[in-house]
Amino acid sequence: MRLCLTCRHMAPAGAPFCGHCGRSFGGRLCSQWHLSPPSARYCVHCRRTALSDPTSFIPLGWVGPGITVLMFIIAATGIWRVAGRPVEAMAVHLLRIGIVLFIFSLFLPPPVRSGLHRTAVASIGFLGKMAGRLIVFAARWMIAQIKAKP
C-alpha cells in the first residue's frame, strides 16, 4: 500500500498514480510512462511537456506486520515484567499498553489508524480464540482427572 501525502488516501503497492487525486507517485510521468524528477518541467527522456503532477508518498507495506511484531514485543516484555506478580497487575499493565497505543494511534493519518485498529481487533480476536482453546483444554483435562479417580 502507498499513502498519498497530498490527499492522504491509500493506493495499491506499485500503483503509479493516486486513485483519489490523480497525482503520480515519486515524480512526474509523461504519456510514454517516463519518470522525471518532481521538479522537472520537461520529460527527461523525451522532452514532452505534458507531465503529471507529482506527489510524495509513504510505502505502508510494513505497517501491519510492524504493528503485530511491536504488539508481540510489548506483550512479551509485559508478561516477563509481571511474572510472579498477581493477575491484577498484569490486567492493569495490559490496559495501560492499550491506552498508550490508542492515544498513539490518534496522531496517525486516518487510513493508517483504521489499519491499526483492524490489526488490533484481529490480534485481540486471535488472543481470545487462543484463550478460549486453553480454557476448553484445561476443562477437558480437569474432567479427565475427575473421571480417572476411583
Judged by CB under 5 A, the residue of 3, 10, 29, 30 near Zn ion is 30
Residue 86 zone, left/alpha/beta (φ > 0; ψ -120 to 50; rest): beta
- If binding is defined by CB under 5 A, does position 58 make contact with Zn ion? no
Stretch that binds Zn ion, among 6-14, 102-110, 124-132, 140-148 (CB under 5 A): 6-14
Please check whether residue 9 is in contact with residue 115, taking contact to mean a CB–CB distance below 8 angstroms.
no
46 interacts with Zn ion by CB under 5 A: yes
Please name the residue that has the C-alpha cell 492522504: 8
**3-class SS at 77?**
helix
> Which position among 14, 42, 45, 98 is part of the footprint of Zn ion (CB under 5 A)?
45
Cβ distance 2 to 15 under 8 Å?
yes
- Toward Zn ion, which CB reaches closer, 32 or 145? 32
Using CB under 5 A, list all residues that contact Zn ion: 4, 6-7, 18, 20-21, 30, 32, 34, 43, 45-46, 48
